[in-house]
A and B are shown apart, each in its own frame.
Chain A
Amino acid sequence: MSDTYITSLPVILAALSGILILVLDLFIKKSEKIVFFFSVLFSIIIPLPAFLFYGLKTKAFSNQLLTDNLSYIFLILISIISLSVILISFSYNKRREIRYNEFYALLFLANAGLISIVSSYNLLVLFLSFEIFSFSSYILTGIVKDRLSSEASFKYIYTGIISSSVGLLGIAFIYGTSGSLYIDKIILNGNYNLGLIAGFILFLINIFFKFSIVPFHIWTPDVYEGAPTPVSSYFSVAPKLAIIIFVIRLININFINLMNFQTLIWILSAATILWGNLAALKQKNLKRIMAYSAIAHSGYISMGFLIPFDLAYKYLIFYSISYIFLNLSAFTFISYLTNGVKDDAELENISGLSQKKPFESFVFTLALISLAGFPPTVGFFAKFYLFIALIKQGFLYITLIAILGTVISVFYYFRIIMYLYFKEGEKEFGFDIWGRIVLFFNMIIILFLSFYPEIIFKFLRG
């Protein structure tokens, strides 16, 4: 197969899956189970190129798209994410009366956008990929017909479009001053005038917005709360992972150091860690708590943008992988907290749930303890490696701020555990087999990585 096909295969597969699922509904009546089956099947097929071509580096369409090991790692992870979202949404969609084919089709289209972000090498392609993802995600947010969901979708569209246009303006600046849309060429050119720097700042604002960095995070809690919980789960991990991979590419060409953006990143990540953790303290809804927790974790991850490539490659991917499984477990638990057609994720509702659902509560607790960074869970090692890399680079103060954030985070993570275990309550929520399977596999992976974190580095070394 030629390079062109290999490079574009993942995107094509994802987009094709979305379209096929959308079409399926036209021909089959009562298609829910069939749509579910095909979605699961497709999300197993999509990562296959990663196993076939791992280690290969290919480019296509006059270098506008490329795939390398990073893209393949992303492909595997995004498939795991979308698979678990599909599994947990099977009963969730039924409870909240969401149309299956639309939901899964949009999910695959969003996946296609994200895969394309990771593969794009050209600013314009990057922008378009972002838009593909964003438009799918706007609809996914508002796919439930209730006030909260529509409101969230509306907010998301408005803020999203504003940030996209700012980003587009930035790209225009960059093109206007450097005459190129390829980041590495612009950087290697070495001509850093004010227009270029302004362009990159505007461009980064768009990225920061999608990554929920303070002060561009305002949409996050509302969208996470209003969106269907499986979708919130998807939002909290998938786009972040894509952006992390994109930024690792930027770090590879020494972008942040050359443009002197260290201070900017430093300040923003400190603000994100502190604000995310502090704001989470006051929340009473689990989805909102997890939203602020996701913001705080964006802050921890963005600290990692300061470290050089060889460390960032290992440790940021380690952090993302641990974060993905932890967040997926937490959101899987939360997505079963529904009452009739409504979400019911208030903190009080889980009082004493550990007595009725010991296994599910155990996995949720494991995820929370790990998100708080307690040893010997994988969340601890993720933070530990990040701190090692930062202190090696001499970033002591930001590490201390991260420590402060971690201490604050103990408050709200442990408050959830307190409700779960220490209080008494009557409410009960049912878990179906798919949710248990997702939780079980997450638990296995979390425990395995907790005692053998080395395996990820072995895998990354190839």
Chain B
Amino acid sequence: MLFYVLGLPFLFAFLILIIPNKSKRIIIPISGFLSLGHFILTLILYLKYDITGANFQFVINKSWISPGINFHIGVDGVSLLLILLTAFLFPISFFASVKSITKREKGFAFFMFLLEGGVIGVFVSLNVLLFYLFWEIMLIPMYFIIGVWGSKNRIYASFKFVLYTMVGSLLMLIAIIFYFKATGGTSFELTDWLAKGPLSNPAQKWLFLAFALAFMIKVPVFPFHTWLPDAHTEAPTAGSVILAGVLLKMGVYGFIRFGIPLFPDAFMKYRESLIILSVIGVIYGGMMALIQKDIKRLVAYSSVSHMGMIMLGLLALNIEGFKGSVYQMLNHGLSTGALFLLVGIIYERTHTRQISDYGGVAKLMPVYSAVFMLIMFSSAGLPGLNGFIGEFLILWGTFEANKLIAVFAASGIIIGAAYLLWLYRRVFNGPVKEGLKEKVFDLNIREILYIVPIIILVIWMGVYPSTFTKMIKIPHSIQKHLIIKGGVEK
């Protein structure tokens, strides 16, 4: 079952290539329905998942390449939720791209499916080198998605994206090989490595730094975030949605699955510095979002701020923080993804992203404005919507770990409300800007259809979070090494 969830996107990628060029108009809708089918398959996987069951489920373990590179996959609650998020966002991105992708549709669908396969591969791999392979696979499709279908400054942005990620991941590769040698040079299996216990210093310290750098670039933690605003801004809507929605989560997931369990002592040593960097990210991201003139860039910087919050929840190292962190990953995927979709919708009509070109949109597009307001509140953490639950849990966890940091983090949330509300005021309220009236029209059926599922989830996750929180358990590999203060499930 899990094998099909992982393999289908790759199969779809090559199926798409068979469609003749004459009927290229239908390629993206077809891809949308294919990935919708894939999402349904993922839902079945989710329903079959046994919450009370063992740590990893649906495990497949086959030897593949010597030395010790096994095709070893499996999911636990955290990775299953992230896979669900991935499979949920892809059909939406496809349907959002029907009108906006007007050239080389086949290539677009091909790369999107490769990307989906790579991302799911990252979340299911239990072999460190397999994880690395998938981690790198998604780089190439993203490079093409930004570079071919992006906006004006796309070449620079795509280059920067590849280069940043490449530096981090190559150092991680060396660290992986070094770890492999240190554990006897026979296996890349995560379980084998964990069974051997953590390495001695200073090797553990250096290897942790190499891993952490790769993950921090991906998250991105301040000061490694500079690729993100460019990549997000220049990518096409679907690319931004996927980038914000799932790709950034891979970094945090890397810390959860590999960073902390493999290097517990080094992690504890650098925890404080990571906390400080994350808090800086929360506030700095928010501040930068305040002063942006480009809507998409604003949302991109808000991502930096939110990802800082997610890191804080993880670094608090208690049950609330952990749950909040994973929950907030889902929220961020939904609300930031939706924000990018909405920005994309209005960009398709006006072909401008400058805030100053807008004004009074609420009068022209009432439905759109209502949807935008809802998503905005979800992103700002209004009680009753999903963002609140995540941020509340994170702040609770952080408060238990360090009160001062929690105060700073909370101020980040206030800044978040500020830039979003200010954005709303400038774009939607006030007098209608000249020339806007001829261009814009309200949401059409297609757009409503792909936005509504997100809205339903946003409300559901805000009112009844335990559907998802009950899936989130701290993996044994983390619990074993670290003292988790406070909380219910000690």
Given the complex, which residues of B lie within 8 Å of A406, measured CB to CB?
170
Given the complex, which residues of A lie within 8 Å of B170, measured CB to CB?
403, 406-407
Contact of B154 among A388, A399, A422 (CB under 8 A): A422
Contact B181 A392 (CB under 8 A): yes
Contact B104 A374 (CB under 8 A): no
| A192 interface hit (Cβ, 8 Å) | no
Given the complex, which residues of B lie within 8 Å of A384, measured CB to CB?
173, 177
How many angstroms between the C-alpha atoms of A410 and B167 in the bound complex?
Answer: 10
Given the complex, which residues of A lie within 8 Å of B137, measured CB to CB?
375-376
Min CB–CB distance B117 → chain A (angstroms): 11
When C-beta atoms are compared, the residue in chain B nearest to A387 turns out to be B177
Min CB–CB distance B139 → chain A (angstroms): 7
Contact A414 B162 (CB under 8 A): yes
Contact A387 B155 (CB under 8 A): no
When C-beta atoms are compared, the residue in chain A nearest to B64 turns out to be A454
Contact A422 B148 (CB under 8 A): yes
Contact of B148 among A396, A400, A421 (CB under 8 A): A421
| A418 interface hit (Cβ, 8 Å) | yes
| B65 interface hit (Cβ, 8 Å) | yes
Contact B133 A421 (CB under 8 A): no
Contact A454 B173 (CB under 8 A): no
Per-residue CB proximity of B319-340 to A under 8 Å, as 1/0?
0000000000000000000000
Min CB–CB distance A69 → chain B (angstroms): 20
Chain A stretch 291-344: residues in CB contact (< 8 A) with chain B: none
Contact B174 A399 (CB under 8 A): yes
Contact A410 B166 (CB under 8 A): yes
Per-residue CB proximity of B169-204 to A under 8 Å, as 1/0?
011011001101100010000000000000000000
Min CB–CB distance B235 → chain A (angstroms): 13
Contacts A374-B139, A376-B133, A421-B147; is A400 near B174 (CB within 8 Å)?
A: yes
How many angstroms between the C-alpha atoms of A374 and B143 in the bound complex?
Answer: 13
| B467 interface hit (Cβ, 8 Å) | no
Contact B133 A375 (CB under 8 A): yes
Chain B stretch 125-183: residues in CB contact (< 8 A) with chain A: 132-133, 136-137, 139-140, 143-144, 147-148, 154-155, 158-159, 162-163, 166-167, 170-171, 173-174, 177-178, 180-181
Chain A stretch 349-381: residues in CB contact (< 8 A) with chain B: 355, 369, 374-376, 380-381
Contact A375 B162 (CB under 8 A): no
Contact B181 A391 (CB under 8 A): yes
| A457 interface hit (Cβ, 8 Å) | yes
Per-residue CB proximity of A400-411 to B under 8 Å, as 1/0?
100100110011
Interface size class of chain B, counting residues whose CB lies under 8 Å from the partner chain: 20 to 34
How many angstroms between the C-alpha atoms of A8 and B42 in the bound complex?
Answer: 62
Per-residue CB proximity of A192-216 to B under 8 Å, as 1/0?
0000000000000000000000000
Min CB–CB distance A315 → chain B (angstroms): 11
Min CB–CB distance A408 → chain B (angstroms): 10
| A49 interface hit (Cβ, 8 Å) | no
Contact A374 B136 (CB under 8 A): yes
* Best-surrounded residue of B133, B147, B177 (most CB of chain A within 10 A): B177
How many angstroms between the C-alpha atoms of A414 and B136 in the bound complex?
Answer: 15
Contact A388 B147 (CB under 8 A): no
Contact B173 A418 (CB under 8 A): no
How many angstroms between the C-alpha atoms of A392 and B155 in the bound complex?
Answer: 39
Interface size class of chain A, counting residues whose CB lies under 8 Å from the partner chain: 20 to 34
Min CB–CB distance A173 → chain B (angstroms): 40
How many angstroms between the C-alpha atoms of A400 and B65 in the bound complex?
Answer: 24
| A453 interface hit (Cβ, 8 Å) | yes
Given the complex, which residues of A lie within 8 Å of B139, measured CB to CB?
374
Contact of B140 among A355, A369, A400, A418 (CB under 8 A): A369
Min CB–CB distance B477 → chain A (angstroms): 25
Given the complex, which residues of B lie within 8 Å of A418, measured CB to CB?
147, 155, 158-159
Given the complex, which residues of B lie within 8 Å of A381, measured CB to CB?
65
Chain B stretch 221-271: residues in CB contact (< 8 A) with chain A: none
Contacts A376-B137, A388-B180; is A422 near B174 (CB within 8 Å)?
A: no
| B66 interface hit (Cβ, 8 Å) | yes
How many angstroms between the C-alpha atoms of A403 and B170 in the bound complex?
Answer: 7
How many angstroms between the C-alpha atoms of A411 and B143 in the bound complex?
Answer: 13
Per-residue CB proximity of A409-445 to B under 8 Å, as 1/0?
0110010001001100000000000000000000000
Contact A387 B173 (CB under 8 A): yes
Contact A453 B65 (CB under 8 A): yes
How many angstroms between the C-alpha atoms of A422 and B147 in the bound complex?
Answer: 6
How many angstroms between the C-alpha atoms of A376 and B147 in the bound complex?
Answer: 21
Min CB–CB distance A103 → chain B (angstroms): 37
Given the complex, which residues of A lie within 8 Å of B132, measured CB to CB?
375
Contact of B159 among A374, A387, A388, A414 (CB under 8 A): A414
When C-beta atoms are compared, the residue in chain B nearest to A452 turns out to be B65
How many angstroms between the C-alpha atoms of A375 and B396 in the bound complex?
Answer: 41
List A residues at the B interface (Cβ < 8 Å): 355, 369, 374-376, 380-381, 384, 387-388, 391-392, 396, 399-400, 403, 406-407, 410-411, 414, 418, 421-422, 453-454, 457
4 further interface pairs, Cβ-Cβ under 8 Å (given A387-B177, A403-B174): A355-B104, A407-B163, A407-B166, A414-B162
